Homo-oligomer: A and B are copies of this chain.
Amino acid sequence: MDALTAKQALEKGKATRHEFEGLSYIRLHDSVARLPKGSVRLDTGRVIPGYPSIGRIQALATGLEKQYGDEPFWAEEKIDGFNIRIVAHEGRLLAFSRGGFLCPFSTDRVPELLDPALFDEHPGLIACAELAGPENPYMEGSPPHVAHDVALFVFDLMRDGQPGFIAQAEKQGLAERYRLPVARVFGRYRAQDQQALTELILSLDRAGCEGLVFKGEVQGARSKYVTARSNINDIALVSDALLDLPPEYFTNRMMRLALFEAEHRGNDPDLERELGRALLQGLGRSVQRSREVGRVGHRYRCRFRHQRNLDHFVAHLEATGGPQHVKILYQPSRQQDGYWVLEFERVLPRMTGTLAHALSGGAQFD
């Protein structure tokens, strides 16, 4: 994306210009010139391609067969976090979200989660990673093996000006050399290794992990596949927001759950009980919150190294969420292990309104 293409994308409304502490960048919110949406162009002209969307297979055996045929592929752990791309820029690390926003939270925390020496010796690298854990400001879920705060899982490397990703062997070499925190790589398989792959996905299911990302060795094609438990966890965490999320959030996960059950677990009363509990306990929480405080919301807590990043984050939150839908729960203070702690709540307006109406005895015409 040269300067002219960027200018045209801005004019066509396919890109937006943003500022962050003197850095000017543009962010594509539509695909432009073969760059996917979420791509970023820094003021130096450097381009950070968007992370491509990965096709999801819903039937493991036929999906791998169709996707890879005889081609070998690597199976890596899919991490339940949010996708960032990390680059070094004028002496500091910057982290961009999937959508191409500079993320003040990730940018604040990445320097302590990744050795910057990687970029000193390879300045053109782009590290694609998942930031995951219970103390993140975006999502409710977190991997079972991240007990507190957040952790970083690098899963791909790109190099400036080169299409696609760095090959698996070179990526693993760099990861070892710089002790990068990486997503677990379970091995190299082919579609016919059904038994081993089934055992692998069932062990991840039992462990409460999200699933697998497959990466073809020759073509590099990526696909993903998630566990039954991941679908149930996702539903359990946000069923108190049933009316505020797109219905497909729930229906897609139920479809995946049924397909996983049919392929791997047969008719399973445990899954039925867990799905019902995931839905009804979350809805029960929302009824209780509505009765107690007249409001339904999701609470988040996260920690920053620098107060100015916290301030940037809060400004971003209020700009994108609307001040009426975000409640900062208390003024942050440098109180915990040298971090600035932020706690806030995203109010769920439809659950709040619907339950207030229903509990006060209001009638519904449907």
- A281 CB-CB contact with B under 8 Å: yes
Chain B residues whose C-beta falls within 8 Å of the C-beta of A261 in the assembled complex:
280, 284
Partner of A53, one of B53, B262, B272, B365: B365
A286-B274 in contact (CB<8A): no
Interface of A is mostly: helix
- A182 CB-CB contact with B under 8 Å: no
Residues 186-199 of chain A: 1 if any B CB is under 8 Å from the residue's CB, otherwise 0?
00000000000000
B280-A257 in contact (CB<8A): yes
Q: Which chain B residue lies CB-closest to A270?
A: B276
Residues 165-186 of chain A: 1 if any B CB is under 8 Å from the residue's CB, otherwise 0?
0000000000000000000000
Chain B residues whose C-beta falls within 8 Å of the C-beta of A273 in the assembled complex:
269, 272-273, 276
| A136 vs B286: C-alpha distance when bound (angstroms) | 38
B62-A361 in contact (CB<8A): yes
A361 with B286: in contact, given A251-B243, A255-B354 (CB under 8 Å)?
Answer: no
Q: How far is the CB of A231 from chain B (nearest CB, A)?
A: 11
- A271 CB-CB contact with B under 8 Å: yes
- A314 CB-CB contact with B under 8 Å: no
A279-B286 in contact (CB<8A): no
Chain B residues whose C-beta falls within 8 Å of the C-beta of A262 in the assembled complex:
284, 287-288, 291
Q: How far is the CB of A275 from chain B (nearest CB, A)?
A: 4
A57-B361 in contact (CB<8A): yes
Q: How far is the CB of A261 from chain B (nearest CB, A)?
A: 7
| A350 vs B64: C-alpha distance when bound (angstroms) | 24
- A67 CB-CB contact with B under 8 Å: yes
- A325 CB-CB contact with B under 8 Å: no
| A261 vs B276: C-alpha distance when bound (angstroms) | 13
Chain B residues whose C-beta falls within 8 Å of the C-beta of A324 in the assembled complex:
none
Q: How far is the CB of A2 from chain B (nearest CB, A)?
A: 28
Within 8 A of B (CB), among A220-247: 223, 242-243, 247
- A309 CB-CB contact with B under 8 Å: no
- A277 CB-CB contact with B under 8 Å: yes
Q: How far is the CB of A278 from chain B (nearest CB, A)?
A: 8
Chain B residues whose C-beta falls within 8 Å of the C-beta of A144 in the assembled complex:
none
A360-B66 in contact (CB<8A): yes
| A292 vs B136: C-alpha distance when bound (angstroms) | 45
Residues 288-304 of chain A: 1 if any B CB is under 8 Å from the residue's CB, otherwise 0?
10010000000000000
A276-B271 in contact (CB<8A): yes
- A55 CB-CB contact with B under 8 Å: yes
Q: How far is the CB of A264 from chain B (nearest CB, A)?
A: 12
- A164 CB-CB contact with B under 8 Å: no
| A359 vs B248: C-alpha distance when bound (angstroms) | 19
What are 12 A-B interface contacts by the 8 Å CB criterion?
A: A63-B362, A67-B363, A243-B251, A247-B248, A250-B250, A255-B354, A255-B358, A258-B280, A259-B359, A262-B288, A269-B273, A275-B276
Which A residues are within 8 Å of any B CB, using their own CB?
A: 53, 55-59, 61-67, 223, 242-243, 247-248, 250-252, 254-255, 257-259, 261-262, 267, 269, 271-277, 279-281, 283-284, 286-288, 291, 354-355, 358-366
